Structure 1
Amino acid sequence: MVKGVIERPAEFRAVAELLSCAERCPCALVIEGQAGVGKTTLWLEGVEAARERGFRVLSARAAQAETALAYATVADLLGDVDHEVIDGLPEVQRIAVDRVLLRADDAGPGTDQGVVAAAFTTALQRLIEDAPLLLALDDVQWLDPSSQAVVAFAARRLTGRVGLLLTERSEHEGEGAAGWLQLSTTDAAGRVHVGPLSLGGLHALVSARLGRTFPRPTMVRIAEISGGNPFYALELARAIEAGGSQSVLPATLAELMRQRIGRLEPETQVLLLAAASSAAPTLDLLARVTRNTPERTVELLDEAKTKGIITFEGDDVAFTHPLLARSVYTDASRRERRAMHRALAEEVDSPESRARHMAMAASSADATTLEALDEAAATAWTRGAPAAAAELLELAIGLGGDTPVRRIYAADQYLHAGDLPRAEKLLEGLTDRVARGVHRAMALNLLGAMRIHNNSFTQAVEMLEDALKNDGGDREVRVRTLLLLSYAQLNEGEFGKALQNVERAAAYAEDVGHNDLTAQVLAVRATIACMCGRGIDWPSVQRALVLQDPHSQAPIAFRPRANHALLLAWAGRLDEASQQMTVVRDRCVERGAETDLIFVAVFTALIEVWRGRYDEARRVATETVERAQQLGGEHMRVIAKVILSAVASYAGDEAQTREMAQRAIDLAHACGSPRLADWAAVSLGFLEVSMGRHEQAVQTLQPLIERFPFIPGTEIITVGYVPDAVEAMIALGRADDALQMIEALETNGRMVDRAWMLAIGARGRSMWLAAHGDVPAAVDMAQQALGHHEWLPMPFERARTLLLLGQLQRRQRQKDVARVTLTEALEVFESLGTPLWAKRARAELARLSTVSGGSLGLTASEQRVAELAATGMTTKDVAAALFISPKTVETNLSRIYRKLGIKTRAELGRVFGDGS
């Protein structure tokens, strides 16, 4: 038996196992049970055991009165962190911590919940470097929303030797810790249930705590009434010890505590009510609120302290158990509670606490209270606590201050806090009653942004078009609406409308005079214009970079630096793009923007694939899958699986490519975003081409092929599937069907001077010429393609062109030249780790060694067909390799069989060898 723990060996064993695990890797344990059952006792023993084992312990005990105070628990935890650790944080994180601890002004970059979470995580991670860390939280059902979000973030991100020990009431409302607490590992948090004590356990507990024993019949009665609840049992024992009779013991714990507290002096009861109504009671605060001297306050509270109701620690006052505080508060009349909150509002320093007390004291709206709540909400927002800001505004709304502005502001705060359901409820209530006007437009903008976040672009477009009709001439609202609308239309495939609306946004933005908003519009306009085939407006991009607010909380897709990185990648400046995307990623990490990191990861992985850095792309993809699983949301999981599928296709992992792509497609359709499935189709199409399965490739890419004529530009981001579609169609004898794509790449490549378009267009033209029998012209065009590749750091695509050139050189019987070309292609494929393409290059090299058929009476064309067929290739494969139709292959084979006097391909293989 461990000191302080009565008959809890199994439960404490779970705590000990947590500490052992935390000495190696992240672990968590939630101790759950009913109020008063002994969770905190077990938790305290765990904290003490951790210290004895050399853990650094950060602990906090949440209180019910703190549930609405922003970062109350996080502030307690950070208050125990060394100043050197806090001072060593990045500036934006250090400022965030200072604001949480209420020791900073409004100067410096903006703070949001993500920055606070990142700062908290960074600080903890640095502590872990010196010793194992235990993060111990008691009564997490009362964590304020901001603290809960920060702790959840840290749990997902912390690595190394760290443990989380939490207690939680099993009967509380809302989501439990098991729902919001996830670790950086895949392991879920452990749970241990603390149940009632046995009769023997209660006897031992009462003996240890009260220093006396009771007769067995008395203990049986105590056990019956308390149901084995240790706290209830102790209160019953105290009642008997104070002179009560077991035959008249109260039947409920609430009644028992009411009797116990009711025996105190009335002045003492007023002080206890003040303590129960305050989030952080102190002797000084209680004295001021009750108009007592500090000495008189201590004197009045001494009896409550002696009876085990409260404790003092320095100036701080605390109830020995939360149930006692709850009993004091609920037993007071409504008039008494309001009067106490009114008195506290006059004495507390925090604007947030003062506003909340004023709200609790009010029965209806008054201008002073509403103004205080508005100011407190603004303060909470500055501190990076959007959930607290939203709740303060909802208090104002509930008191009768229900205005459109407050609803919109509150919904915006909930949106930033990640609570989309509550934001949507507020906004829908507004749009239902406001039929027209700028407030309707503002509400629809927020609703549209939420739809965009969930990839529901069609619904977003409908809402934003409605918003445009209701902006009332407000230029800023109009610009924001047009910006959102253009982005939604772009993702719907409405390129022309998207460009038109972002151009309108740019025209209005200059008049608004909001630099960061102008920067967003310029950046998005440059990106949309590029995707529409207009090239890249670099001057506008540079102006956007100058005007941007580096601490803007705008969506990542609207930020100039992120758009700059994308445009660099599409322009073929991949090394610069990678560097810029790293800067964007570092800022996201610094600010704790986890959702933004998904966006960054998608394009980072694409850039690394284009650069031929598949290991790095795979690392990013794996990290993205883990983050998507932690954050939840079907759309994020779709994106994560698409990235894995793309990387696997280049690595030649057929099973994983198909599995991840199919999961992405199924999820995309299930969550109502079928366009997300296009990305998976591109990976599957590439895999089929890599395996020489051209018919399957065309089937997979057919929806994209059909959409091609309606896409205004041919940037790599919009038509990255074209190289595979062109090769597959030509291989199937549909060379002329591929001509539109080839010509578009050639024309657009010259117009916007894009190396990727020129190289891929020239390669496609080379295939088309070869399919029409003009091999010399095809060779010349392939060599032109290689010239364009010199300006394009995409080694895989260059090797793919080398493979084509080697094939054409072999057809011209330039065996030595072809061998050099194909060897170079093979070396690149092998160095990149693309086995399917390395296999193709080796097969082409092998064909250079097949026997000559000239002496057998075969023509040059028959010779080539015979060599390939002898290797075991199918008719379609041979046709694809020689850029002729399958029917032509069959005709040649018939003549070859007749000339050689054979009837099967097996005999043909014996004549020419296996080509290996």
Structure 2
Amino acid sequence: MTSAQGTVGRDMELASIRAFLDSAGGRLTALLIEGEVGIGKSSLWRETVRAAEERGHRVLACQPTENEAGIGFAGLIDLLGSWVDESAAELPEPQRRALDAALMRTSSDAAVRQGAVAVAVLGVLRTLARSAPTTVAIDDPQWLDMPTRQALGFALRRLDAEPVAVVVTRRRDRLADELIEGLPVTRLAVPPMSLGATYQLVHARLGVTLARPALVRVYETSGGNPFFSLELARAWIDRGGVADVGHLPVPERLGDLLRRRLEDLPDGTRRVLLIAAAMAAPSVQELQEACDRPVERDLARAETAGVVDSSDGIVRFSHPLMAATVYGAATAAERRMLHRELAGAVRDPEERARHLALTSPEPDEALAEALEDAATRVARRGATDVAATYAQRALDFTPPGDRGASFRRATAAGVHAMAAGDRARARALFERAVADAPAGPGRAEALRWLAELSTPLGQGIALCDRALQDAGTDQAVASRIHRTRGAISYFLGDVPAAEHHAGLGVELAEGSGDDQALGMALAELAHWTYCGGGGVRRDLFERAIALDGSAGASSPRSHLAKVVMDNDEHDEARSLLTLLLDETMETGDLYSASTHRFHLAELDVWAGDWIAAIEHAEESLQLRQHLDRPGAPLYVEAMARACLGDVDEARNLAEAGLVEALRAEDVVFRMQNLHVLGFVELSLGNHEAARAFLGEATDLMRPRWNREFGDCHMVPDEIEALVALGDLARAEDLAGWMDEVARATHRPWTVATGARSRALVQAARNDLDEADATLERALAAHERLPMALELGRTLLTRGIVQRRMRRRAVARETLEQALALFEGRGATLWAERARSEIARIGVRSAAQVDLTPVERRMAALVAQGCTNQEIAASLSVSRKTVEANLSRSYRKLGVRSRAELVARLSVQREPTSTSSAPNG
């Protein structure tokens, strides 16, 4: 049976494809066509493309080959070439410029970021999908070049509601393709063909009718594989068409069949095919120029033999296996020589570089220069992976005696490798650069790069010290080295050293004449000064931003956002970070965007919006997965999950982050992950385990920076665990430290949590009146602190103290406020603790018992005269949530208005006890 466009015996598969396309109009979805080699995946892929076009889809199609895998954005040119004019006009200028460069529509000396291309691709897909369903179809995506793969993967992961269908093929023995990872996938397994379909296929494609004995032998030997069946049938035809089963030639390996078909072609034709296999989908004209003679007759012979198809002017092999067989028939030496010949014949500099990269790397300065130039060109287009490869090969071709060229090329290759996220390769290249360079500023800069790449971080200190000796009188280089040393010192936990080297960096930058470097040095000095207890140096930040207003992760604005965030100025921090995120996403600075998202995740954790925090953290990790260590996003997602009571996942993430932090000697993220693990145990009431984790974190912090807590929030948690265990001596000591820092900084977080910690110690010593008064001061500080969980914990502590003072009604109200906060945020473990404390007080009247804790808290705020909007702001919920809860309260209490509700509550209010006698 014959299906559309000559597809034989695949009616069920074609029906599945049509059903997929008919259901794929409203959201992002994927179709995976998988099966063994030669089973007909490409034929079904082409039918999918045809069917999508019939349905009015915009189809972005690409059939990459192995030879194209090393050409930067080759796949993207195929996918977007015919659509970019229609879709790119709406893109921001940085993205439009990046896309034009990637697609080789324009040339420019200004480099573009690979991330900018990725963001542009996302914009193009969204623009196309707004006007019509869009299908992205890739046959055999394993051969996509890495820049295209990364850009397309970035875009697909961020689509959701857009009507985009992704269609890919895959050999059954291949791993799942990351392009469709996480997408809703429809799998279409392509089974062997039936005997009847095999008969139809051979008849339709080869124009012959096999007698049944021969047909059965072909079918059984091929296992129903259409490609194998056609090759076997061709072999039968070539041997005279003898139908007797005993005479059917059936080699054990398909490669033997393919090679035999090639052996029947003239030597000249095989040479033309070898050159075509070494090129990346050449046109007939390009192939003729490479062969330096007419090739039409050779192509005609090859087409008759079913080896290639050049009907549209592009020479394509009938199957990837055929191209691989042609290329593999040549020896390695013959292939290297061929690529060297092609490098001299092709016109495009990047195509020439690809061939040079596949030749034997014999010292040749001219070839090294060609590869060096190609690396620069490719880097300007944003294809950093390919640029790193070409730069590495340029270094390999460099004559051994030219140390200056070797140093320059090793350094350039290292920079490209860093941009591509290949830290291991970059480290090796900078080590080679250092070995080839004489003492001086150049070697100092290479040593500084090595310091930034050092793992563990402690190695970076020694490298910076070596670099400073080489820098000599070059103030610009020395300034950068001091700044790097300062940043490493910070992550090692040595804030005084960070502040010292940042100050030296500023002094040297002042004399260098580099405004941007001076701006960054000033911002780093302001940041480390804050961590050392020096407060928010707005004067330094204002000067730094005036010199450098960029939006990168290390820019002055980014440092300011982090400092005001740590200083509890959350609204300003959120505004800054949101703006920085928008700017870096627009320009494609994905690493910086990941940093800004990470800090937004921290803000969300503190604000109690833990679902948003998880989303920010996961996106931050996605953005930096090829670029940097994942420790930061792991820690903040772990804390969000810990707050939600998802203790198993929180532990897993924090333990993974801790392993990474220990490997890198990163003290900051070691403390943060220890804090998460300790907070989990504290939330569960496992105070001994909590003390172990939290005590280790505190002991890492206290000797290094002890005048400001910044984002290190573990000390109040350790004090709570210590009090529960009866270790009042250490608890008193840490509470005294918090008191001292609070008096010096006046930060709301330090004042509020420090007072709560002090009150815990006072209550443990049975000084309940002092504890209650201290908690009153803590709650006053909480009014300036938008941290819902911390407020809930302070209310919980005060409710316990009030219960012990036998102020039962007040204690209940305080505990119910805490419970409302915990429940409203989803803090399940802390909500359970609040319920347990409420249960210890006793029960209310029947009418009050009917109300949930959240409803009772809202009713109490109504009684205080608060509007719905004020109640929503107080409890950090939406106005609709307030209205819904009050409506339920009215029904339960049998009232119709706010006035009746207040009157009912005043009748039921319990008398307040003034007794302050302790009651353990």
Give TM class, smaller chain: 0.7 to 0.9
> Which of 722, 739, 744 in structure 1 is aligned with 2:715?
722
- Cα distance 1:507–1:33, how it changes in 2: closer, same or farther (>3 A)? farther
Letter in 1 for 2:160: T
**Paired position in structure 2 for 1:62:** 64
Structure 1, unpaired ranges of 5+? 852-914
- Contact 1:26–1:183 (8 Å) recurs in 2: no
> Which of 551, 559, 570 in structure 2 is aligned with 1:563?
559
- Contact 1:223–1:233 (8 Å) recurs in 2: yes
- Cα distance 1:298–1:743, how it changes in 2: closer, same or farther (>3 A)? same
Q: Alpha-carbon deviation of 1:567?
A: 0.7
- Cα distance 1:736–1:266, how it changes in 2: closer, same or farther (>3 A)? closer
**Paired position in structure 2 for 1:494:** 494
For 2:436 and 2:408, how far apart are their aligned partners in 1?
14
For 1:395 and 1:684, how far apart are their aligned partners in 2?
47
**Paired position in structure 1 for 2:569:** 573
- Cα distance 1:728–1:335, how it changes in 2: closer, same or farther (>3 A)? closer
Letter in 1 for 2:507: A
For 1:764 and 1:222, how far apart are their aligned partners in 2?
82
Q: Alpha-carbon deviation of 1:208?
A: 0.9
**Paired position in structure 1 for 2:205:** 209
> Which of 30, 42, 45 in structure 2 is aligned with 1:43?
45
Check if 1:664 corresponds to 2:665.
no
Check if 1:408 corresponds to 2:411.
yes
**Paired position in structure 2 for 1:896:** none
Q: Alpha-carbon deviation of 1:414?
A: 2.7
For 2:121 and 2:681, how far apart are their aligned partners in 1?
47
- Cα distance 1:807–1:229, how it changes in 2: closer, same or farther (>3 A)? closer
Letter in 2 for 1:62: P
Letter in 2 for 1:564: L
Pairs aligned (count): 830
Letter in 2 for 1:407: A
- Cα distance 1:746–1:301, how it changes in 2: closer, same or farther (>3 A)? same
For 2:330 and 2:231, how far apart are their aligned partners in 1?
20
Q: Alpha-carbon deviation of 1:840?
A: 7.0
Paired residues for 1:434-583 under 5 Å: 445-451=448-454, 456-461=456-461, 464=464, 478-548=478-548, 550=550, 556=553, 558-583=554-579
Paired residues for 1:239-318 under 5 Å: 241=237, 275-286=276-287, 288-289=289-290, 301=299, 304-305=302-303, 308-312=306-310, 315-318=313-316
Which segment drifts farther, 528-537 or 689-698? 689-698
- Contact 2:57–2:135 (8 Å) recurs in 1: yes
- Cα distance 1:474–1:275, how it changes in 2: closer, same or farther (>3 A)? farther
Paired residues for 1:889-908 under 5 Å: none
Check if 1:618 corresponds to 2:616.
no
Which segment drifts farther, 245-254 or 566-575? 245-254
- Deviations along 1:217-242, one digit per CA (max 9) or x if unpaired, are 65577679878764455456456656
Which segment drifts farther, 421-430 or 579-588? 421-430
Q: Alpha-carbon deviation of 1:144?
A: 1.8
Q: Secondary structure at the match of 2:490?
A: helix
- Deviations along 1:53-74, one digit per CA (max 9) or x if unpaired, are 5543221111233121101011
Which segment drifts farther, 346-355 or 771-780? 771-780
Q: Alpha-carbon deviation of 1:836?
A: 6.3
- Deviations along 1:252-275, one digit per CA (max 9) or x if unpaired, are 766766676677788777765654
**Paired position in structure 1 for 2:640:** 647
Paired residues for 1:822-833 under 5 Å: none
For 1:451 and 1:830, how far apart are their aligned partners in 2?
45
Instruction: Provide the identity percentage.
Output: 33
- Cα distance 1:776–1:280, how it changes in 2: closer, same or farther (>3 A)? same
For 1:689 and 1:342, how far apart are their aligned partners in 2?
67
**Paired position in structure 2 for 1:374:** 372
**Paired position in structure 2 for 1:758:** 751
- Deviations along 1:32-62, one digit per CA (max 9) or x if unpaired, are 5665453322322232333345543221111
Letter in 2 for 1:150: A
Q: Alpha-carbon deviation of 1:183?
A: 2.5
**Paired position in structure 1 for 2:105:** 103
For 1:188 and 1:341, how far apart are their aligned partners in 2?
40
- Deviations along 1:390-443, one digit per CA (max 9) or x if unpaired, are 121233234355724323322332332233454455456667888977776655
Q: Secondary structure at the match of 1:533?
A: helix
- Deviations along 1:859-888, one digit per CA (max 9) or x if unpaired, are xxxxxxxxxxxxxxxxxxxxxxxxxxxxxx
For 1:26 and 1:243, how far apart are their aligned partners in 2?
51
Q: Alpha-carbon deviation of 1:381?
A: 0.7
Letter in 1 for 2:539: P
Which segment drifts farther, 76-85 or 459-468? 459-468
Q: What RMSD over aligned residues (CA atoms) do the two structures have, in Å?
A: 4.8
> Which of 605, 627, 638 in structure 1 is aligned with 2:601?
605
Q: Secondary structure at the match of 1:384?
A: coil
Paired residues for 1:352-391 under 5 Å: 352-357=350-355, 364-391=362-389
- Deviations along 1:523-579, one digit per CA (max 9) or x if unpaired, are 333222222222232233233333337375xxx3x3333322111111221011112
- Cα distance 1:142–1:704, how it changes in 2: closer, same or farther (>3 A)? closer
**Paired position in structure 1 for 2:157:** 156
- Cα distance 1:97–1:753, how it changes in 2: closer, same or farther (>3 A)? same
Check if 1:350 corresponds to 2:353.
no
**Paired position in structure 2 for 1:741:** 734
Structure 2, unpaired ranges of 5+? 401-405, 845-918
Paired residues for 1:1-20 under 5 Å: 1=1, 2-3=3-4, 4-7=6-9, 19=21
Q: Secondary structure at the match of 2:153?
A: helix
Q: Alpha-carbon deviation of 1:479?
A: 4.3
Letter in 1 for 2:94: V
**Paired position in structure 2 for 1:890:** none
Q: Secondary structure at the match of 1:394?
A: helix
Q: Alpha-carbon deviation of 1:382?
A: 0.9
Q: Secondary structure at the match of 1:748?
A: helix
For 2:444 and 2:197, how far apart are their aligned partners in 1?
64
For 1:226 and 1:849, how far apart are their aligned partners in 2?
80
- Contact 1:275–1:317 (8 Å) recurs in 2: yes
Q: Secondary structure at the match of 2:166?
A: strand
Letter in 2 for 1:533: G
Which segment drifts farther, 474-483 or 220-229? 220-229
For 1:568 and 1:754, how far apart are their aligned partners in 2?
11
Letter in 1 for 2:744: M
For 2:803 and 2:249, how far apart are their aligned partners in 1?
102
- Contact 1:157–1:183 (8 Å) recurs in 2: no
- Contact 1:799–1:828 (8 Å) recurs in 2: yes
- Contact 1:638–1:665 (8 Å) recurs in 2: no
- Cα distance 1:226–1:467, how it changes in 2: closer, same or farther (>3 A)? farther
Q: Alpha-carbon deviation of 1:378?
A: 0.5
Paired residues for 1:795-810 under 5 Å: 795-798=788-791, 801=794
Check if 1:184 corresponds to 2:182.
yes
Which segment drifts farther, 69-78 or 395-404? 395-404
- Contact 1:182–1:630 (8 Å) recurs in 2: no
Check if 1:135 corresponds to 2:136.
yes
For 1:401 and 1:792, how far apart are their aligned partners in 2?
64
